[in-house]
Chain A
Amino acid sequence: MSDAKSIFLKDATVNAADGDQRAFIRKALGGYYTNRDLQKARYRDWEMARDVASMAKWTAVNDLANVLEKFVGNFERNGGVVHWARDAAEARAIILKIAEDANAKAIVKSKCMTSEEIHLNDALEKAGYGVVESDLGEFIQQLRGEAPYHFVFPCMHVKREAISELFTKHLGTAPTDSPEELTMIARRHLRQLYIDADIGITGANFLIAETGQISITENEGNARLTAALPRIHIALSGIEKVVNYLDDLSVLLPMLATAGAGQPMTCYNTLYSGPRKKGECDGPEQFHLVLLDNARTRLLADPEQRDALHCIRCGACLNVCPIFKNIGGLAYGTTYQGPIGSVITPHLRGLKQWNHLSGASSLCGACTDACPVRIDLHHHLLHNRRNAAKESPTLFDRLFHNGFNFVIKRPWLFAAGGRIFRATLPFLQKLPLPYMRAWMKTRDLPKAPSQSFRDQWKNQNV
């Protein structure tokens, strides 16, 4: 068993038994469903909007080399500097080099899951830089020393009292149970940090090829300050974030907000078009963009699952996933949690180590229905399972399924086996048989009938 799998099984077992925490997560998401449906109803045709959004991503992803090249040309014309990073190590080295060249000390960051993917904060802190997350949820998670729980709502699992205690401990503020006051505490603390920071690091929601702009979506205004106040702006983005046209945002931005957070639009949607230009009174002196591959091209090379690169990281699939809601985001042990994480993590970090996430699904398909860009999520879990069975078959699985196949290929054996199974079921339930025992721990089996359907049918129709 892989390390990742045994940790997953352990954490999932603990969390699935934590009724209070599960109820808290359900309650936290309660308002989301209502708001999402309300906002979806404002679309003339949500399903058609999904087609349009998915097509916008499809055309870019399926012509990625050309679209990226066009984007980079325009981005550079705007005065930005592009850095290509093959993997996490290269991306970290590039960012460290920029910081070193700039003689930087303090760094402020806005929400960027790609930076979690490359473990950027660790690397920066080890090199001696002060790094502060400015998104409220990420700020709380940073103080807690914990990874984001949900890639859109990083601290959705943390109760208000715990946040108050955390602030008291780290910032010395008086305890409060007012969300507004908690927000103000963080705001007051962060304000000076933007001013002091030499570098602001952001992510990117979309890269627009035709204009060379970066689109960033946020609710708190912290990304605008992160990008605008420090003298250097570094944006870190996966290569799949590119779209062809500015017009594509007319559907992608509202759908990102509605699908992910039940909002009509996110509060701040900003397009960044390069560093401060001559005659402009604000903006960074330097604007760097690190474009990260980190195995995305491996996913691109797989025509069956390439659509996973359409992902706009809205989080809709997590919000509707019964697995996510019952085991929580941290149990996944991945940067990207929930269904999309279970689909792409085996590609990003190795199928053998991470296939268990594809197995840990009832394949209910709620994620696929929720996805605004129509990623075939739950079917890709099946594809991962198939690929894993081919790549690294386990002896137990082969024996079990070949044995099962041996029986179902022979109707007489199936009927005879069924007869024995039914007759001995009360006894079998007491044996430590694989699968049976796990089932019986929390659920009963129906009382076995004396005759199968096929026997009764034969007797009735003789």
Chain B
Amino acid sequence: MRVSLFVPCFVDQLTPKVGLATAKVLKKLGHDVEFRASQTCCGQPSFNSGQWDVAREAAIRALTVFRGAEVIVGPSGSCVAMMRNFYPELLKGTAHAEEAADLASRTFEFSEFLVKKLGVIDVGAKFAKKVTYHDGCHALRELRLKEEPRQLLRAVKGLELIESEEAETCCGFGGLFSAKFPMISTAMVQVKGGALARTGADFVVSADPSCLLQIGGWLSREGKPILPLHIAEVLASDA
């Protein structure tokens, strides 16, 4: 299959290793992977801030960028939810409505793509560490992905998966919310990060790099001995 990568803007700039790991796993499974360099941001920051006219422009741009792509795979539940669920709402009643629905049907979150579209659970990864999984809210409640990433992790050789308390509790990121209401966002990540640290896991793994930015940022500041890692990085690992 020819897979067009959708790399979230902050992954592009801050954690490019997540994008590279995504490509590595997909290539290992025998797929052609392309990256269309005209892509930038999905527009979610503006959408969530109520600036729907701005977000609409970003959505229309994305439609153009990914025109003709067979499937689009993104290592982010949040950005994929934006494209899958919210582009159709943004473009409802416009000339782009049909194309938005079409894009939505071709866009997948990474773990969802592997398990639900390709039917792959064991990608042949090795990772001899203790990990706990954090459900990003968009992957969990917008895309309804709960078991898929866990199935993938359980199939990784040597990996021990520990469930944490508060696994489904929001980490408090919420995009600009984390900077507009930092005191609430911080209280939320204290609850989340505390529960993750108590598992004794070496890594907190998630399909949402934005949550990992928040959780990892707090864990680092607090000096907790648990590191953030994207699920693609785990699946790309062979050591």
A interface vs B, CB < 8 Å? 12-13, 16-17, 19, 22, 26, 322-323, 325-327, 359-366, 368-369, 382, 384-390, 397-398, 401-402, 404-405, 407-409, 411, 414, 418, 421-422, 434-436, 438-439, 441-446, 448-449, 451-454, 456-458, 461
Contact = CB atoms under 8 A, between A and B. Distances in A.
Contacts of A26: 191
Interface stretch (B111-119, B126-134, B217-225): B217-225
Contacts of B180: 359, 435, 438
B180 to A, nearest CB: 6
B47 A382 contact: yes
A442 B141 CA distance: 27
Contacts of B49: 385, 389, 397, 401
A404 B187 contact: no
Given A326-B188, A365-B137, A446-B213, A411 B174 contact: no
A453 B184 contact: no
Contacts of A326: 184, 187-188, 191
Top-7 shortest CB links A-B: A362-B174, A443-B217, A389-B50, A385-B50, A364-B170, A453-B16, A435-B179
Given A414-B9, A442-B182, A451-B16, A366 B141 contact: yes
Interface string B42-57: 0101111111101001
Nearest to B173: A362
Q: How large is the interface on B (under 10, 10 to 19, 20 to 34, 35 or more residues)?
A: 35 or more
A390 B37 CA distance: 33
Among A363, A364, A439, max chain B CB count under 10 A is at: A364
Interface of B: 7, 9, 11-17, 19-20, 23, 35, 37-41, 43, 45-52, 54, 57-58, 61, 137, 140-142, 168-170, 172-174, 176-191, 213-214, 216-218, 220-221
B182 A439 contact: yes
Contact of B19 (A422, A446, A453): A453
A445 to B, nearest CB: 6
A404 B48 CA distance: 14
A97 to B, nearest CB: 43
Contacts of B185: 362
B32 to A, nearest CB: 12
Among B13, B52, B176, max chain A CB count under 10 A is at: B13
Contacts of B173: 362
27 contacts: A12-B184, A17-B187, A22-B187, A322-B191, A327-B184, A362-B172, A363-B177, A365-B137, A365-B142, A382-B50, A387-B50, A401-B51, A402-B54, A407-B40, A408-B40, A408-B41, A408-B58, A411-B37, A443-B218, A443-B221, A444-B216, A448-B14, A453-B7, A453-B19, A453-B20, A454-B12, A457-B19
